[in-house]
């Protein structure tokens, strides 16, 4: 028998494993093995254990069902959190046949989906910007643009505002007042009496003067010759003097504004808890969208074409520098915090890249040490770049260079009005847009932060005047930090046991061994209860969507979580879904394996070589070869359908994927598409050697970044695949957005070599196998023009074996079930015809 694969394939619904990992023994059973060392995880094949009673092999999986409205799967819990008093858990759930969500309340430790929250009580559970005071006896939040306050000791809930002003940056002050930002001002409310005070306001304008010096000869003569003009000037000055005296002698009836650089706008603002300082970050007020590009939207209610504005391309982006202002409310002074205090602020970090590109043009390049464009790090995950200590005596700010090569965490010396660098992270490729969470310990003036400086995201603690300490270390990724109020523990999630298994852990802030709090073997997220005694878990497995669990935290031993919700439909459970194995594919270009999901058919003739499909996940920096429920749930079901018909399916976490450390992430720097295609070659070789696959019957497909990879594979390795489908694909990176692309390829004006090396449109002449392109037309992420330009290029190259399907009403992520069905019918037809 040609096939020699050695891992267990099972079908049906996965059951939670009781061990860290599993491998197959010689007798075909699953052996429980000890977890690999945290610092040296072993490349183990992970094979899920499933419930054989759930198998329904006689049920045919159809495209019509799996591409239908996903309500039929069961509408899983979303956005879980805790109730105000911590006695219940709260989650959202989609309504059947509607885009609306309802809130539900359930009890920890009690199985059941709970009760739907009535609309009249929605303000108690739909809580944005939630904050608590230092004693945790008051909690405030925003609901429907208004502020609500809950007193934990009395159980009284009050509404503090009722207006159309949307409050932002909600925070408790040291004196128990509640402050919030409206426009360019901060307001404080005293909950005890409702007194509102405008603490500070600022304007981006020149400070007004009652009278100004004459601007020229004519103005000077006018003021001296015309008594009426002189009178008006005297009256204005008298009024200004009177207003200033009134303000000074009445303890400031209203806050006098601070005046900042004209023509700027807010980027981020933060008030200190002691109400003594405000940090204002501003930048030049220029349009964030393109001034020339539009996106035609052809399907409108009025029958006309709408011209929608779209974001700028990376080729049009200009360097942006932020200004940092320190507003001293007590002294009524404003100081600009100079960025020149940062180490490396004027390093020519791209000198080697510029020299290479200059040489390609036949020119020389000389190092240029002009100040770099620097600003606050604007997190993709909502973390604030300005963090005040609860005392108000310290503030930390996270900054990044516009060239993507440096990240700084700084504090402010209030006496000297200057920045003090606490931590610098440099990367020759690019600073990751993930793993940038940071903040202060509750009591001591010490920072905690995530950093990839070791090659993996780990947690560090650093006193303001002390040395950095690593709380975690090893070949795994740490994320989602929660610091306990008693300053004893740091809670986090990490993939310690295996790159594709995420559990919840905690580490003592004083140092020591980390403690595992869960052992669920899948994908697990958490929310810590208000009293820090219980974990609210969101857990999923390969074949089961996420459900909610609760687990009591114990110092002695790990407690068994209790499953709370059961929202998956019986119809979904009855289907013969295939549970893929997580396989470490040997790499020809890296010492680390390429972890991949592999779906294998059963009950097929082993003597006949199989056909196969490799799926390419999107986003580039995304992990899909994990043990949890995939965001690509339709693709998971499609792969089960293909397997049912005898296909083998592989889903690779190629280089650039998340979860495997900094080196795996940055392997694509300045060469997008090359390492990934090399990994696809290794994937095909593995399939041929281990899964009885005919190398001449392999196809590939993927969307977004996965569509880009389909292009690169078909164009640069024309014999690797016999057909490919590129969905919402990138064909030219110079047309994609700035934040994502410039990380990896720098900018086109600086590094055109990288763009020509990485953009499929430059390699289109290599197409020789059938190509399907599925393109949504109102995609404001990857523009429709990417496909249009490539189609024109293929026409001019006189290529014959390509076709294009357009979707007039779809954005980047399809919405309409009819579009999903049409798209996957075409993909399936492509594989059936050519594999």
Per-residue pLDDT tens for 525-569?
Answer: 999 999 999 999 999 999 999 999 999 999 887 889 999 999 999
Task: Report the distance separating Cα 631 and Cα 523, nearest Å.
Answer: 12
Tokens representing 622? 């995304």
**Model's pTM, two decimal places?**
0.90
Task: Report the distance separating Cα 791 and Cα 797, nearest Å.
Answer: 10
Task: Report the distance separating Cα 526 and Cα 39, nearest Å.
Answer: 24
CATH code, domain with 728: 3.40.50.1820
Task: Report the distance separating Cα 573 and Cα 61, nearest Å.
Answer: 13
Task: Report the distance separating Cα 736 and Cα 746, nearest Å.
Answer: 12
Domain count, the chain: 2
| Structural domain includes residue 323 | no
Reported as type and span, the H/E element at residue 681 is helix 674-690
Determine the angle formed by the axes of helices 217-225 and 227-249, rounding to 10 degrees: 90
- Residue 619's domain comprises 585-834
- DSSP annotation of 15 reads -
Identify whether the C-beta of residue 188 lies closer than 8 Å to the C-beta of residue 169.
no
Identify whether the C-beta of residue 797 lies closer than 8 Å to the C-beta of residue 743.
no
Position 2 pLDDT exceeds 60 = no
Q: What is the pLDDT of residues 257-311, one digit of tens each?
A: 999 999 999 999 999 999 999 999 999 998 766 666 788 898 999 999 898 888 8
Examine the fold and report which residue of 200, 229, 261 is the final residue of a domain before the chain moves on. Answer: 261
Tokens representing 810? 């779809």
**For residue 14, what pLDDT is reported?**
30
Tokens representing 790? 């490539």
Q: What is the pLDDT of residues 26-64, one digit of tens each?
A: 222 222 223 333 444 455 676 665 543 344 567 999 999
User: Is beta strand 306-311 parallel, antiparallel or unpaired with respect to 581-585?
Assistant: unpaired
| Averaged pLDDT score across all residues of the chain | 91
Examine the fold and report which residue of 232, 261, 290 is the final residue of a domain before the chain moves on. Answer: 261
**For residue 21, what pLDDT is reported?**
33
Residues facing residue 347 across a β-bridge: none
**For residue 763, what pLDDT is reported?**
98
**For residue 251, what pLDDT is reported?**
65
- DSSP annotation of 759 reads -
**For residue 181, what pLDDT is reported?**
97
Backbone angles phi, psi at 722, to 5 degrees: -90, -10
**For residue 618, what pLDDT is reported?**
97
**For residue 37, what pLDDT is reported?**
36
| Structural domain includes residue 220 | yes
Q: Predicted confidence band at 712 (pLDDT cuts at 50, 70, 90)?
A: very high
Mean pLDDT, to the nearest integer, of 350-368? Answer: 96
Burial code of 725-749, b = ≥16 C-beta within 10 A, e = fewer? bbbbbbbbbbbbbbebbbbbbbbbe
Task: Report the distance separating Cα 626 and Cα 46, nearest Å.
Answer: 9
Q: Which residue has the higher pLDDT, 17 or 169?
A: 169
**For residue 289, what pLDDT is reported?**
65
Q: What is the pLDDT of residues 713-751, one digit of tens each?
A: 999 999 999 999 999 999 999 999 999 999 999 999 999
Task: Report the distance separating Cα 113 and Cα 564, nearest Å.
Answer: 7
Reported as type and span, the H/E element at residue 758 is helix 752-758
Q: How many CA atoms lie within 13 A of 683 on its CB side?
A: 32
Q: What is the pLDDT of residues 149-166, one digit of tens each?
A: 999 999 999 999 999 899
Residue with tokens 């009781």: 18
Position 20 pLDDT exceeds 60 = no
Nearest in space to 767 (alpha carbons), one of 699, 713, 832: 713
Tokens representing 275? 């109400």
Task: Report the distance separating Cα 348 and Cα 428, nearest Å.
Answer: 12
Examine the fold and report which residue of 244, 261, 278 is the final residue of a domain before the chain moves on. Answer: 261
Sheet holding 258-260, edge to edge: 168-172, 178-182, 185-189, 196-204, 258-260
Reported as type and span, the H/E element at residue 614 is strand 610-616
**For residue 557, what pLDDT is reported?**
79
Nearest in space to 114 (alpha carbons), one of 567, 527, 570, 629: 567
- Where would I find the beta strands (DSSP E) of 359-417? 374-376, 386-388, 395-401, 406-413
Task: Report the distance separating Cα 31 and Cα 21, nearest Å.
Answer: 9
- Where would I find the beta strands (DSSP E) of 641-720? 648-652, 693-703
Task: Report the distance separating Cα 365 and Cα 655, nearest Å.
Answer: 32
**For residue 323, what pLDDT is reported?**
97
| Structural domain includes residue 48 | no
Task: Report the distance separating Cα 780 and Cα 811, nearest Å.
Answer: 7
**For residue 243, what pLDDT is reported?**
78
User: Residues of the chain with pLDDT > 90: what percent?
Assistant: 81
Task: Give the three-class secondary structure for 249.
Answer: helix
| Structural domain includes residue 717 | yes
Task: Report the distance separating Cα 174 and Cα 594, nearest Å.
Answer: 52
| Structural domain includes residue 651 | yes
Contacts of 208 (CB under 8 A, 6+ apart): none
- Where would I find the beta strands (DSSP E) of 484-609? 489-498, 501-508, 515-516, 523-528, 534-540, 547-552, 562-563, 578-579, 581-585, 594-599
| Structural domain includes residue 654 | yes
Position 635 pLDDT exceeds 80 = yes
Among the residue ranges 194-208, 392-406, 812-826, the one predicted with the least confidence is: 194-208
Q: Which residue has the higher pLDDT, 20 or 758?
A: 758
**353 to 360, 429, 750: CA distances (angstroms):** 11, 11, 8
**For residue 633, what pLDDT is reported?**
97
């Amino acid at each position: 028998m040609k096939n020699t694969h050695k891992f267990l394939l099972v079908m049906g619904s996965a059951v939670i494993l009781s061990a860290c990992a599993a491998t197959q023994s010689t007798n075909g059973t699953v052996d429980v093995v000890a977890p690999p060392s945290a610092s040296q995880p072993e490349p183990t094949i992970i094979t899920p254990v499933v419930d054989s009673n759930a198998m329904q092999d006689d049920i045919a999986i159809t495209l019509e069902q799996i591409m239908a409205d996903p309500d039929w799967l069961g509408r899983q819990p979303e956005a879980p959190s805790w109730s105000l008093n911590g006695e219940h858990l709260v989650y959202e759930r989609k309504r059947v046949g509607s885009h609306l969500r309802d809130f539900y309340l359930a009890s920890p430790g009690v199985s059941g989906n709970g009760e739907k929250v009535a609309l009249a009580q929605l303000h108690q559970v739909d809580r944005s910007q939630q904050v608590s005071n230092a004693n945790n006896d008051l909690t405030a939040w925003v609901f429907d643009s208004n502020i609500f306050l809950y007193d934990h000791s009395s159980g009284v809930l009050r509404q503090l505002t009722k207006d159309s002003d949307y409050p932002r940056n909600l925070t408790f002050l040291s004196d128990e007042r509640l402050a919030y930002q409206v426009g360019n001002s901060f307001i404080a409310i005293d909950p005890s009496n409702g007194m509102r005070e405008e603490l500070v306001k600022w304007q981006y304008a020149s400070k007004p003067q009652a009278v100004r010096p004459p601007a020229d000869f004519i103005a000077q003569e006018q003021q001296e010759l015309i008594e009426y003009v002189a009178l008006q000037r005297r009256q204005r000055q008298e009024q200004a003097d009177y207003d200033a005296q009134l303000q000074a002698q009445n303890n400031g009836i209203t806050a006098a504004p601070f005046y900042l650089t004209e023509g700027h706008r807010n980027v981020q603002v933060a008030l200190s808890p002691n109400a003594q300082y405000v940090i204002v970050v501003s930048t030049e007020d220029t349009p964030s969208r393109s001034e020339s590009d539009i996106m035609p939207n052809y399907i409108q209610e009025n029958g006309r074409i709408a011209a929608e504005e779209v974001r700028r391309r990376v080729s049009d982006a200009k360097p942006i520098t932020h200004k940092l202002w320190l507003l001293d409310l007590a002294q009524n002074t404003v100081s600009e915090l100079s960025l020149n205090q940062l180490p490396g602020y004027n390093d020519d970090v791209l000198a080697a890249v510029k020299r290479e590109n200059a040489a390609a043009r036949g020119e020389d390049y000389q190092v240029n040490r002009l100040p770099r464009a620097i600003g606050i790090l604007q997190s993709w995950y909502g973390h604030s770049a300005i963090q005040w200590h609860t005392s108000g005596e310290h503030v930390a700010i996270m900054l990044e260079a516009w060239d993507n090569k440096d990240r700084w965490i700084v504090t402010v010396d209030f006496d000297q009005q200057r920045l003090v660098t606490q931590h610098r992270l440099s990367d020759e490729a690019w600073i990751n847009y993930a793993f940038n969470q940071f903040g202060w310990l509750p009591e001591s003036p010490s920072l905690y932060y995530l950093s990839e400086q070791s090659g993996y995201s780990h947690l560090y603690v650093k006193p303001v005047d002390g040395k950095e300490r690593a709380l975690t270390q090893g070949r795994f990724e740490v994320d989602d930090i929660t610091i306990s109020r008693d300053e004893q523990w740091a809670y986090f999630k990490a993939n310690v046991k295996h790159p594709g298994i995420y559990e919840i852990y905690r580490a003592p802030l004083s140092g020591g061994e980390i403690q595992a709090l869960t052992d669920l073997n899948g994908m697990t997220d958490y929310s810590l209860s208000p009293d820090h005694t219980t974990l609210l878990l969101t857990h999923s497995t390969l074949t089961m969507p996420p459900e909610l669990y609760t687990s009591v935290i114990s110092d002695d031993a790990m407690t068994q979580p209790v499953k709370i919700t059961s929202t998956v439909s019986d119809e979904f459970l009855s289907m013969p879904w295939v549970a893929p194995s997580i396989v470490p594919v040997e790499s020809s270009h890296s010492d680390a394996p390429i972890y991949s999901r592999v779906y294998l058919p059963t009950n097929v003739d082993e003597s006949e070589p199989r056909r196969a499909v490799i799926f390419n996940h999107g986003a580039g920096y995304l992990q899909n070869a994990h043990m949890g429920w995939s965001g690509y749930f339709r693709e998971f079901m499609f792969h089960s359908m293909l397997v049912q018909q005898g296909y083998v399916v592989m889903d690779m976490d190629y280089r650039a994927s998340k979860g495997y450390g900094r080196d795996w992430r940055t392997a694509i720097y300045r060469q997008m598409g090359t390492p990934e295609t090399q990994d696809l070659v290794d994937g095909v070789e593995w399939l041929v050697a281990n899964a009885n696959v005919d190398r001449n019957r392999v196809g590939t497909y993927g969307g977004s970044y996965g569509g880009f990879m389909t292009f690169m594979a078909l164009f640069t390795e024309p014999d690797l695949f016999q057909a490919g489908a590129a969905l919402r694909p990138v064909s030219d990176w110079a047309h994609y957005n700035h934040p994502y692309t410039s990380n990896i390829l720098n900018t086109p004006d600086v590094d055109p070599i990288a763009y020509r090396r990485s953009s499929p449109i430059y390699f289109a002449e290599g197409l020789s196998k059938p190509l399907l392109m599925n393109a949504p037309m109102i995609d404001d992420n990857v523009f429709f023009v990417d496909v249009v330009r490539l189609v024109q290029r293929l026409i001019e190259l006189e290529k014959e074996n390509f076709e294009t399907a357009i979707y007039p009403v779809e954005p980047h992520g399809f919405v309409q079930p009819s579009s999903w069905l049409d798209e996957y019918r075409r993909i399936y037809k492509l594989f059936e015809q050519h594999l």
